[in-house]
Amino acid sequence: MTSSTAVLENRQGERGQLPDGRLWQIASGGYRCQSSAEAYFQVEYIPGRESSRFILPHGDIQLTHLDLWFDWLFALNPALQKVDIVQVDTVVSRVSRSGFYQRTELWYRGNNGGKFPLQWVENEQGVRHPLRAHPPEGEVYRRYFHTLGMDFSLRHLDPKKDLARFTDWMNQERVAQFWEEEGEAEKQRKFIDSVIQDPHKHPLIACFDDEPFAYFEIYWALEDRIAPYYDCQSFDRGAHMLVGDQRFLGKRFAQAWFNGVSHFMFLDDRRTETLVGEPRADNRALLKYINGTFGWKKIKEFDFPHKRAALVMCKRDEFLRNMGGV
């Protein structure tokens, strides 16, 4: 078997590989894994346990060479919370799920990463808020999802190459039902320009294996219409979303992209402790995926002037402890 996934209940000897070609094989009590070239190490893990051990041989193995193995094991075992690195019967390092998935250098391609200095300003509506980093162009996030065997990425929306696609998505009946922004390309270009020019929003195109399939409109909640409806904090973040390519509808894809965009928002600023959303209360398909997924919960329903909405929320710590399964 050659697969990027592994389940210990399979027969001993079953094997597969990481996306970079390094091999794993189910062995007694865990896995035999390739670190580089002809070098292998043992992973001790029992499904359902919160801890695992990487038993490394003598010699120098840089921990960065194990990063993809950490991601692989964490992603496929939701209960796992920490991995001990053992050499010569001594624990030389410990990697936690929460700490590992906050390492911006592995997935984040943006220009903030929580390093943008705190400066207070006031917008045209009189809302005092932190000055936000100007969103960069190009790719801002990339991560491999092991259960799909695909890369998920986010890039800044480019009006020149995305307008036709965006117009098609907005005019799909199921999208127009909730976004209510259907119309010709000229109208969509004005909509895109308004989002790009709004300092509290960041328009993103989501891709699987570099094929665009969805639009995410990331926003700072304090400057958004949602702020008065809950106890909003300075670095809370939210997203409006639509899946335009119907091939990527369904639970197996939704879990991946929902996890990916949430992960990006937490990486983009370390001061963000809460993510929020306000989908229409009758959007049952979306709420079915959101409620209970990676720490997201429906908190309440409330009335905007234009719609009945559901307030959904996710806390950083709970999200990072529930990033398995993708």
Catalogue the active-site residues: 278
Half-sphere exposure of 300 (CA within 13 A, CB side): 6
Residue 272's SS3 state is: coil
DSSP β-ladder status, 30-36 and 90-96 = unpaired
Burial class (CB in 10 A: 0-12, 13-18, 19+), 315: middle
Residue 302 phi/psi, 5-degree rounding, is -155, 170
Cα–Cα distance for residue pair 124/239, rounded to 1 Å: 22
Facing residues of 40 across strands?
34
* DSSP code, position 45: -
Residue 215 phi/psi, 5-degree rounding, is -120, 130
Torsion, Cα of 151, 157, 158, 162 (10° steps)? 80
Cα–Cα distance for residue pair 17/28, rounded to 1 Å: 18
